Amino acid sequence: MSASHGEVLQGTLDLMVLKTLEAMGPLHGYGIAQRIQQVSKDLLKLNQGTLYPALLRLEQRGWVRSKWGVSHNNRKARYYSLTAAGRRQLVTEAARWERMAAVIAGMLAESEGT
Amino acid sequence: MDRLRIFFSRAWGFLHQKHLDEQLREELQAHLDALMEENIRRGMTPEEARAAALREFGGVEQTKEIYRQQRGLPFLDIALQDLRFALRGLVRRPGFAIASVLTLMLGIGATTAVFSVVDWILFRSLPYPHDDRLVSFGLLAPIERDEFSLGAGYIDFRKEPGSFEAITSMAPGTTDCDITEQNPVRLSCAQVEQTFLPTFGIEPMLGRNFTPEEDRKDAPPVAILSYGLWKSRFGGNPDVLSKTISLDGKTAQIIGVLPARFEMPTLRPADILIPQALDETQQRQSAPGAVLRTFARLKPGVDVTQAIAVLQPWFELAVSGAPPEFRKEIHLSVRTLRERQTSDARLASWILLGSVFAVLLVACTNVANLLLVRATVRERELAVRAALGASRARLARQSLTESLLLGLLGGAAGCGLAAILIRVFVSIAPEGIPRLQQAGLDLRVGVFTLVVALASALIFGVAPALYKPSAEIMMGKEQISARRGGSLRQILVVAEIAISIVLLASAGPLLRSLWKLQNAPTGMETENVLTEQISLGSHNFKEAAQQVAFFTDLEARLKRFPGIRSVALSDSIPPAGQMRSTILVAVEVAGRPALAEGTGGPVGWRAVTPDYFSALAIPILEGRAFREEDRLPTENPIILGETLARKLFPGESAVGKQLRLFKTPDGPWRTVVGVAANVKNDGLQTNGDPEFYLPWKNDPLINLRAGYAIVRTRMNPMSVASWMRSETAALDATLPVNIETMSQRVGKLTERPRFNAMLLCLFAGIAVLLAAVGIYGVIGFLVVERTREIGVRLALGATPQSILKMVLGSVALCTIGGAMLGLLGAWFCTRLLESLLFEVRAHDPIVFGVAIFALVAVALVAAWIPARRAMRVDPMIALRYE
């Protein structure tokens, strides 16, 4: 699977997870995966398993916290939610991403122009 | 901050692996279940739904693996895994494990034990704050081993101590003092200046130091107790400060108790400190004054050379005040306190430490050899692991983990061995090794052992860690062969042999020197001679007449016993030193001018009763021994030692000549009545120092308070000991006596060289033994590995002799290489021994020859067994091998 087929770039997954949690509130791993798939309109081929190491990484940094709870269909599930630090991180991370995207868009436009 | 948080989170994960694993499994399962349900809802069959869910999820096990790495501490995880693997490996091959651990135990145990003893001599700080700034300073004269100052000069210097932060003085040695109230005991008292404790930075544990007023002549007596005395006599009672103690009949107020860790800078035991009360006017009148031990604390940043420069003007002044004949032979000396305390033990300590490290090195080499052999055996396993993706670093790490595990096991076993060895050392060690009683396993020694164990593990672990299986073996194209790694193993054997030779060549001269020392003639017959050392208390025996009466009474009582051949009294006995001494210029010959300049060197003397010469069987070469009449106050005979007689009267007879002693113009002229053969007086290494004898009688020159009774018996002298003790007790029951045979006293003088030689021999022995085991192991393995080749050779017509030659040849090569290296090392190392030797040269060709011969013999014997096995290889079996 190459990047052109929608593989998730390193680092962007963290941002997607943070944004999802901000938009949806506390959510379990399955819910986060479904949401990302849905928003990306299935353009993104997410290996759902990779979500878990990412969640652990975010938790270790103190950006999300997790709690065991019960899902809507009465199953035991681990719910992740955004912390205050996570919110701040989302703001800086999003800003950086936008700057980056702008730069890349600019470069692409230029190269198309020549 | 973030890193710390991540680390803690990971550490948490590392410690709760099981629980977290379970949670992760549940979480992932829930995710998969949800995916499956969704798929079923879309209309798939359960099997299709499951397959699709797994596809969408990606590898479950892979996720778990990545997750785990993220969660815990992968470094530690791998280390633990390696450790488990290493442990399993050791348990699977107990023979290998036991051999390695035992070898390391020997090496590390011996190293730890020696370190725990020499640490106190070489490295550990003395029990005074900033001990590196404490020095002993003063004059050094030929008759005195340690530096001293003279009263008047010291008082001058004390006024302007220059670059010293503090200076202090004490009376040389300690004096006997008696507690004269109920339960009288003999104690040793140290007379110290009021500045003594502050200079050494010692605060009394209870009470206070002397005040300057108390340190004056005729001040009311005060005393500071040692911790030991406070505990034993006052039961550790804090009320002690309100009590008095009756010392030699005078009542002294107790004003303080010293801390438990306190020790005198001279290392002599002292029970009580009393003020020195140095009187300035008296010292000036009797200039140059009393002999003092003087110590100083340097200012921070001042070193010994600077201190010497500062002291130089004072020294010139002090020397100008000294008797003129002394001036040329006096030096200024400033030594650190450690140097003063350990001077003659330092070299021996370094040598022992060096040799025990050499043993450790041989032990490490042996273990490295064993590990290499094992690595060869395990080559295929390693190859498989490499093929399965283990990186070279990973394999090296695994191998190092094994080495570290072995090192730690060996270190733990070594600690046990060291505990035993230290006990042995302490029980067999001679007197005079500083702080030996304190040696033991403590935290500091424990840390040392740990470091040594880890360092050894690195030393013996490096070679096997670098060992890499080749691709050929992995593919089964190449036989496992002993030749790979073989050259490395041979180098290790060469190192072992070289180190062993260095140790043997160092132990050899020490042994020869010991042998010569023990057989050195002492100038007397020590068999069947019993000596009793007596020191009279100053309270019960105040007057000289009382002292003379005691000793003559004792003499008469001892003479009455059957089986006694002769009884003598003297103020000192050979050969352990402590005799009185004067200088040659103080011996004036009638009708001859005094020596032009210089002291002429020290001359020893002792006072003896007439039977002294027969009791010790010292031959009278000329003239006669003393007679009973010589003990009359009117008689002034003198007997010269052979050396002194030759020196004073070269080429003529000394008998009948007149001498006047001790530079006393109004003293009596003494007639030489005889010349006695030389006796070793100051240790066994001296040879015929000048000496003379005076008759033991009531004379102010002679110290009558302390002396020896010497008894020559017809039977085993120890059988007389208890009777001697009871005869003494009949005269005064409170007198402490010390009864020893003359042979014991002489034996004590060789204890120290014997201890050094014995340890070095022990270490050399262990090294040779280990080297033999190493050679045996390497050759044995070589033969096993080459069994097939040997079989082929035999089948093609090689004779067993040629096989033997082939195997032994490879040993000979190692041995010759090792011997050459060893000789080179021994040449440098034995030079360090020179000052410990007696009548033996350090570079002794015989010793070198014997060392090499011994090792070659050991090497050949060790190789012989496997070589013979090679000779007897059955070609048929060998060819079917593998």
Domains of chain A: 3-113 (1.10.10.10)
Residue B377 CA: distances (Å) to CA of B212, B402, B410, B792: 79, 15, 23, 22
**Two tokens, residue A1:** 């699977």
> What pLDDT was estimated at residue A2?
38
pLDDT tier at B432 (50, 70, 90 boundaries)? low
CB proximity B9 to A under 8 Å? yes
Question: Using a CB-CB distance cutoff of 8 angstroms, which residues of chain A are in contact with residue B9?
Answer: 59-60
CB proximity B5 to A under 8 Å? yes
pLDDT tier at B183 (50, 70, 90 boundaries)? low
Q: Give the H or E element holding residue B274.
A: strand B272-275
Mean pLDDT across B746-753? 75
Q: Give the H or E element holding residue B182.
A: none
CB proximity B22 to A under 8 Å? no
For chain B, the average pLDDT equals: 79
If we measure between CA atoms, which residue out of B652, B564, B628, B575 comes closest to residue B606? B575
pLDDT tier at B413 (50, 70, 90 boundaries)? very high
pLDDT of B607-658, one tens digit each? 888 888 888 888 888 888 788 877 777 778 888 888 887 877 887 777 777 7
> What pLDDT was estimated at residue B412?
92
> What pLDDT was estimated at residue A112?
60
Mutate which: A8, A45, A48, A64, vs B, most B CBs within 10 A = A48
User: 3-state DSSP call for residue B112?
Assistant: helix
**Span between the terminal Cα atoms of chain B, in Å:** 61
Q: Report the range of poorest mean pLDDT among B376-390, B408-422, B801-815.
A: B376-390
B6 against A21, higher pLDDT: A21
Highest mean pLDDT, choosing among B87-96, B182-191, B595-604? B87-96
Minimal Cβ distance to A48: which of B2, B26, B31: B31
Residue B148 CA: distances (Å) to CA of B164, B173, B283, B353, B582: 17, 11, 15, 32, 16
Contact (Cβ atoms closer than 8 angstroms) between residue B575 and residue B557: no
CB proximity B28 to A under 8 Å? yes
Minimal Cβ distance to B62: which of A48, A49, A59: A49
Q: Is the pLDDT of residue B111 over 80?
A: yes
pLDDT tier at B182 (50, 70, 90 boundaries)? low
pTM recorded for the entire structure: 0.72
> What pLDDT was estimated at residue B684?
64
Question: Using a CB-CB distance cutoff of 8 angstroms, which residues of chain B are in contact with residue A67?
Answer: none
Mean pLDDT across B292-318? 81
> What pLDDT was estimated at residue B36?
85
Within 13 A of B804's CA, how many CA atoms are on the CB side? Answer: 11
pLDDT tier at A39 (50, 70, 90 boundaries)? confident
pLDDT of B141-151, one tens digit each? 766 677 888 77
> What pLDDT was estimated at residue B9?
77
Cα separation, B281 vs A22, whole angstroms: 96
**Two tokens, residue B96:** 């290998």
Instruction: Quote the crossing angle between the two packed helices A51-60 and B17-41, to the nearest 10°.
Output: 140
CB contact under 8 A, B9 and A60: yes
Question: Using a CB-CB distance cutoff of 8 angstroms, which residues of chain A are in contact with residue B26?
Answer: 76
Highest mean pLDDT, choosing among B402-406, B679-683, B730-734, B857-861? B402-406
Cα separation, B750 vs B576, whole angstroms: 11
- Please report, as a single letter, which amino acid is at residue B219: A
The residue to which tokens 């009777």 are assigned: B723
Minimal Cβ distance to B31: which of A30, A47, A59: A30
Minimal Cβ distance to B30: which of A48, A59, A75: A75
Respond yes or no on whether the N-terminal peptide bond of residue B575 is cis (omega within 30° of 0).
yes
> What pLDDT was estimated at residue B881?
56
CB contact under 8 A, B66 and A59: no
Q: What residues contact residue B466 under an 8 Å CB cut-off, 6+ apart?
A: B396
Q: What residues contact residue B92 under an 8 Å CB cut-off, 6+ apart?
A: none
Cα separation, B147 vs B140, whole angstroms: 5
Respond yes or no on whether the N-terminal peptide bond of residue B288 is cis (omega within 30° of 0).
yes
Mean pLDDT across B402-418? 90
> What pLDDT was estimated at residue B322?
64
pLDDT of B803-848, one tens digit each? 888 878 877 888 888 888 888 888 888 777 777 776 677 777 888 8
If we measure between CA atoms, which residue out of A8, A15, A11, A39 comes closest to residue A87? A15
Q: Is the pLDDT of residue B869 over 60?
A: yes
Contact (Cβ atoms closer than 8 angstroms) between residue B59 and residue A58: no
